Amino acid sequence: MGEIIVRKVGVFYKDDPSLINIAKKVKEYLKKRNVEVIDKIELKSKYFGEEIIILSLGGDGTFLSASRTALENNVPILGVNLGNLGFLTDVEGMDVFFAIDKLLNGESFIEERSILLAESNNFLQKYFYAVNDFVIQREINDKILQIEICVDGIKAGTFRCDGVIIATSTGSTAYALSVNGPIIHPHASVFEFALIAPHKLSYRPLILSKENTLTLKIISSGNFHFLSDGVEVTKLKKLDRITFKLSDKKLKVLHIKGINFFKILNKKFNWGK
């Protein structure tokens, strides 16, 4: 893509005293550089089209929350890690001011990430989107979750487990990684089906392509949590069906030049040691 002209920046952060203080300094710095600043309250309540760049200050959870606004406006998002692992974010801590200078000097690029679409006819809200993953979990007092899956209309298996993760390539380094799922390069147009505590020794995570559609049917009784990027969006019950596939929508992730996926892997997972 061509040079990114920065005129408006939406600053997204959580209501934590330390983050509020950093956000204040960031907004003041941007204004000194003649950049119009949109605060998070206005950012959530108004549609901006493609006029702005979103700056997420926090950890991966904050980035995922800010991503919903980025998707709605079809605008790029840059993550600054002020949390723990911060795998989705390029910039560490107070390097944010250095990153802003790079951004304003045109030393950045946009990477498009695949997101997931979940579709069901069983709920008032028919469509759900996820940047990292969808998760289905049983209550601690519920019986085991039993599911049947079909790929492109063909029955692919029946499983008993504590939960299910359907993850994007971006989300492969999140919850899916903790259940022994593979690390997937974020440019790969694939998604992953993984189980939490499966009752089947032969089970392995399944990778599906952008041409595939995964349909999941609940075949056990209970009230199961259905989460999108860690936020519960509805409950599932017996005989509910949900279809998953890669969406035509893309998340525009802004990177500072010199940052790449393997550099982040080396830093977060010590692959370089």
Within 13 Å, how many C-alpha atoms sit on residue 144's CB side?
Answer: 12
The answer to whether residue 240 is catalytic is no
Phi and psi torsions of 45, nearest 5°: -100, -5
Ramachandran area for residue 231 (φ above 0: left; ψ -120 to 50: alpha; else beta): beta
The token pair at 129 is 């989107």
Helix (H) or strand (E) run with residue 129 in it: strand 127-130
Q: For the chain, where are the alpha helices, taking DSSP H only?
A: 17-32, 40-45, 60-73, 96-104, 175-178, 261-269
Indicate which residue of 15, 60, 101, 142 is catalytic.
Answer: 60
Closest CA to 98 of 88, 109, 83, 108: 108
Phi and psi torsions of 22, nearest 5°: -65, -40
Please identify every residue annotated as catalytic: 60
